[in-house]
Structure 1
Amino acid sequence: MIRSLWWAAKTDGEPPFDTAHLKIYYPAAAEGDRMTGRFAPEGGPYPVVLFVSGINVGQDAYRWLAVEIAAAGFVCVTFDRVGELFGGEYGLTPGVDLDAARPGAYGSRPTCPAIGRILASLQEIDLLKGAIDLDRVALGGHSAGGSVVLQSAGHFPNVKAVFAYGAHTMVATMLGWPAGTVVPARVDCPVLLSVGTRDGVIMGSSDRYGQEKHVNDPVTRTFEEALGKGEHLLAVFDGANHFAVADPVDHTAARAFLDLPATSHPRPELARLVTSFLRTHLHGDAEARAVLDGMDLRRSDA
């Protein structure tokens, strides 16, 4: 059985825009406290998976995936954090250190400072003591959340795997980069990239990167140009759009209005892919590796 609990962690920023509200999913015992709803973890210690949301996408949109990940033998963490976006606007954001993403500074520190603080905060939760293994961590993310994960993971030596949907490392010209620049991902572990063929948000954002048209898919370019040697995978879901990983899609927020209509909804396939990838690299699961080997994926060593 999967249960969840809430927590909070101080991150960067000025109050009140300095707090991340966490939801933590974990394998739980079959019986709990009727009055509080408190269920103790069962088994473990489990590797930790921190999933980073897209801009203005609430963490509950990823609950379906977090439950699947927890059921595969992990503690999965999502979070909401309201903070400054760009130009004085505020919204849901993982928190991006824009100065760390500029030429000359990129690679010197994480572009998402909240990652380290959220992982550290998990040690404060009494209910999870003995149930989490912070020496085995995976980072995942969607859209901008996936991008900051790709830019930041290598600064955390306990991160053993990274996965991202609809995310890339092509950087905005407003930060001082030449048009069409794909920066190296800062990762020292296997990476799983996935994207849909009807991603209207990436297509609609091409002007940020100095591309007049969606000529070269930034996700494919990231796979080809930004990743070093390793067991990296690229999955392309035919007919899926940018928000295929979100359920439900909140059409009152974020940039879902840019997305193309989906002709397929591959959430079961995506969950199987992600959990097999995580079990391969954090549990050393031979059966999960065999599942990956049987999938139609592009491989860095192919």
Structure 2
Amino acid sequence: MTVIRSVWWAAAIPGYDQPFDTAHLRVYYPAAPDGSDRERLSGVMAADAADAPFPVAIIVSGVNVGQDAYRWLACSLAERGIVAVTYDWVGTLFGGLHGITPGVDLDAARPDGYGKRPTTPSLRPVIDALRTMTGPLEGLLDLDRVALIGHSAGGTVALQSASFVPEVRAVATYGAHTMVATMLGWPAGTVLPAQADCPVLLVAGTNDGVINGSADRYGEDAATRVDPISRTFAEGLPDRDGGNLLVRLAGANHFAIVHPVDHTAARAFLDQPADGDPEQIRHLLADLLGTFCQAHLRGDGAGLDSVIKRPGIASIQRR
């Protein structure tokens, strides 16, 4: 059994005032315990460098969802030989509130700004900070092979920002789309083209209550509108000869990717109940995201076709 360990790092976010200018990173990796006194006294284990240099997956969180909620997924990715990075950045949210954010540059999401720069300012500082890491992963990261895995708003900004980060080879999202709020100056129901020059995997649950709970933000009626994830797939992504995928998980809700769900924060109160075993849904989701990342970071896509045919997959589309 692979031993997974983690270490911490930090990234300064330029242009933000203290104390809201730092993202705190946690980096998960396959370890090689040696039983040494150094290991016993420090608690830090050496990396298992057999498969190094390691490609990297950066998990971009939803609003007010702490990074520990994605630890289960980070460990699963690390077991596959993909170093997984989560981060907490407490910054400014909509309306002047503060909380955990993937970072949203509102001006970059307005009609006169979209497509000129990333809508999140966090990705470049996080990748640059990883290049400076010391400790067990020093010199063992391949930061020219990066995947973004975004949840909810984190998925939206990943889709809107990936092409500005040339290290990114693949983007996967859960419960995310590129429909844009009318408050930013867009007409109701506008779906923006994704800024992602790489394969994209959109994953959605059939029981997502949070997306419908936000319909008024986009000037729509939740009861009559077309699902914004379907529209993002059809209108916001280019045709990549089957390289882009939309996969729906039967019975999964918006927070199926989160474990445990923290009901003191975020918007889980809007979600629908999940149908089925949440652990089985997470296991399927981990296999789906993991094999997608392996395909595009390691060139090993052999398992992807078998995963998307498994029970629990409600539907799949390719383009």
TM-score (norm 2): 0.91
Q: Are the counterparts in 2 of residues 169 and 226 from structure 1 also a CA contact under 8 Å? A: yes
Residue aligning to 2:295: 280
Shift of 1:292: 4.8
- The structure 2 residue matched to 1:262, chosen from 254, 261, 274, is 274
Residues in 2 aligned to 1:166 and 1:294: alpha-carbon distance in whole angstroms: 20
Residue aligning to 1:241: 253
- The structure 2 residue matched to 1:101, chosen from 106, 109, 113, is 109
- The structure 2 residue matched to 1:212, chosen from 218, 221, 236, is 221
Residues in 1 aligned to 2:309 and 2:117: alpha-carbon distance in whole angstroms: 37
Shift of 1:87: 1.6
Whichever residue aligns with residue 260 of structure 1, its letter is Q
Residue aligning to 1:159: 168
Residue aligning to 2:25: 22
Q: Are the counterparts in 2 of residues 277 and 292 from structure 1 also a CA contact under 8 Å? A: no
Residue aligning to 2:142: 133
Residues in 2 aligned to 1:54 and 1:180: alpha-carbon distance in whole angstroms: 22
Residues in 1 aligned to 2:199 and 2:316: alpha-carbon distance in whole angstroms: 13
Tell me the secondary structure at the aligned position of residue 293 of structure 2: helix
Residues in 2 aligned to 1:125 and 1:144: alpha-carbon distance in whole angstroms: 27
Shift of 1:124: 1.2
- The structure 2 residue matched to 1:35, chosen from 21, 35, 41, is 41
Q: Are the counterparts in 1 of residues 247 and 317 from structure 2 also a CA contact under 8 Å? A: no
Residues in 2 aligned to 1:288 and 1:46: alpha-carbon distance in whole angstroms: 19
Residues in 2 aligned to 1:141 and 1:260: alpha-carbon distance in whole angstroms: 20
Q: Does residue 72 of the first structure (1) align with residue 80 of the second (2)? A: yes
Q: Are the counterparts in 2 of residues 139 and 159 from structure 1 also a CA contact under 8 Å? A: yes
Residues in 2 aligned to 1:52 and 1:73: alpha-carbon distance in whole angstroms: 19
Residues in 1 aligned to 2:272 and 2:304: alpha-carbon distance in whole angstroms: 33
Tell me the secondary structure at the aligned position of residue 40 of structure 2: coil
Structure 1 stretch displaced more, 292-301 or 270-279: 292-301
Residue aligning to 2:9: 7
Q: Does residue 224 of the first structure (1) align with residue 234 of the second (2)? A: yes
Tell me the secondary structure at the aligned position of residue 219 of structure 1: helix
Residue aligning to 1:46: 54
Q: Are the counterparts in 1 of residues 308 and 316 from structure 2 also a CA contact under 8 Å? A: no
Q: Are the counterparts in 2 of residues 279 and 288 from structure 1 also a CA contact under 8 Å? A: no
Cα distance per residue 1:70-125 (max 9 Å; x no partner) = 11111110000111101211111111100000002101001111100000001111
Q: Are the counterparts in 2 of residues 276 and 291 from structure 1 also a CA contact under 8 Å? A: no
Tell me the secondary structure at the aligned position of residue 249 of structure 2: strand
Q: Are the counterparts in 1 of residues 150 and 173 from structure 2 also a CA contact under 8 Å? A: yes
Shift of 1:28: 1.1
Shift of 1:129: 2.0
Identity level (%): 57
Residues in 1 aligned to 2:123 and 2:221: alpha-carbon distance in whole angstroms: 33
Whichever residue aligns with residue 48 of structure 2, its letter is E
Residue aligning to 2:182: 173
Residues in 2 aligned to 1:97 and 1:293: alpha-carbon distance in whole angstroms: 35
Cα distance per residue 1:244-285 (max 9 Å; x no partner) = 000000001000111111113210110110111111111111
- The structure 2 residue matched to 1:81, chosen from 82, 89, 94, is 89
Q: Are the counterparts in 1 of residues 4 and 29 from structure 2 also a CA contact under 8 Å? A: yes
Unaligned runs of 5+ in 2: none
Shift of 1:229: 2.4
TM-score (norm 1): 0.96
Residues in 2 aligned to 1:168 and 1:78: alpha-carbon distance in whole angstroms: 21
Q: Are the counterparts in 1 of residues 288 and 304 from structure 2 also a CA contact under 8 Å? A: no
RMSD: 1.3
Q: Are the counterparts in 2 of residues 243 and 256 from structure 1 also a CA contact under 8 Å? A: yes
Tell me the secondary structure at the aligned position of residue 303 of structure 2: helix
Shift of 1:212: 1.6
Instruction: Give the aligned length.
Output: 301
Residue aligning to 1:184: 193
Residues in 1 aligned to 2:302 and 2:257: alpha-carbon distance in whole angstroms: 25
Unaligned runs of 5+ in 1: none
Tell me the secondary structure at the aligned position of residue 210 of structure 2: helix
